[in-house]
Structure 1
Amino acid sequence: MSHADAYQGQCFCGAVQFTVSGEPAGMGYCHCDSCRTWSAGPVNAFTLWRPEAVRVTRGADHIGTYNKTEHSYRKWCTTCGGHLFTEHPGLGLTDVYAAIIPDFPYEAGVHVHYPESRLPMKDGLPKLKDLPKEMGGSGVSVAE
């Protein structure tokens, strides 16, 4: 699938707007406790982009940051609290939540941290114990 176009996204209230462009580095579902707790949901649908592919077009002064660890800098709108994206400096990637780029043709390719799942998904996609090897994980598959 080609993702050559740019796609617009925004926070819940629209105070922060952004575009993503080019090809995502990856897409999938994260089942880790951190993502589930942050998103207040049983699973997080992610799209991973090189930082230069994510451009805030409005409301940069309304972006708050929280980092529980040095691995993830979570961003949200300080006006409405809507979640925006998570920067992963060690990976050189930014996770833009799939739900806030409505016209992007999301196609998950993998489940990560699947043993932590609270919402088992039998969809035939690879299920990993943690992260792919190229992202510093073990790359070990687990049963669906």
Structure 2
Amino acid sequence: MTDKHTGRCFCGSVEVEVSGAPEAMGYCHCSSCRSWSAGPVNAFTLWQPQNVQVTKGAEHVGRFMKNPTSGRQFCKKCGGHIMTDHPTFGLVDVYAATIPSLPFTPGVHVNYTETVLRMKDGLPKMKDFPAELGGSGEALPE
């Protein structure tokens, strides 16, 4: 895997670069992520904030904070979703689809109690979040 990957919003006005390796990759099934992504599940890649940088179009980045745990960022020109800052985790979620050159290798499902799309893939299914991120750490059956 290369050390850096560049992603873009839908129209290409905003570019983001990630470097190093993500802390985790997986799927979120919570209702907020489903609504924001307009899909039954959201694929995430979590990064240390210092490893995520907007390299083009910072003036076009809009922000929406529905709650204190998720500061969602999008392109104000096209509405394309870019990333979510998770201050309580100390991590940034750059949506997997935003950085297509990064090989997506999910390791976990989070908030699986809220799922609307059962996925039988052998990955751990967490009730909410891992304990180290403030969740219960409880795993659910596939």
TM over 0.5: yes
Structure 2 partner of 1:95 = 93
Structure 2 partner of 1:10 = 8
**Number of aligned residues:** 142
Question: Counterparts of 1:54 and 1:4 in 2: how far apart (Å)?
Answer: 15
Question: Gaps spanning 5+ residues in structure 2: where?
Answer: none
Shift of 1:4: 5.2
How well do the aligned residues superpose, as a CA RMSD in angstroms?
0.8
Query: 1:35 is matched by which residue type in structure 2?
Result: C
Question: Counterparts of 2:67 and 2:79 in 1: how far apart (Å)?
Answer: 20
SS state of the match for residue 80, structure 1? Answer: coil
Question: Counterparts of 2:113 and 2:16 in 1: how far apart (Å)?
Answer: 33
Question: Gaps spanning 5+ residues in structure 1: where?
Answer: none
Structure 2 partner of 1:124 = 122
Structure 2 partner of 1:64 = 62
Shift of 1:32: 0.3
Q: Is 1:28 equivalent to 2:26 in the alignment?
A: yes
Query: Which runs of structure 1 show a deviation greater than 3 angstroms over 4 or more consecutive aligned residues?
Result: none
TM-score (norm 2): 0.98
SS state of the match for residue 97, structure 2? Answer: helix
Shift of 1:68: 0.7
Structure 2 partner of 1:83 = 81
TM-score (norm 1): 0.97
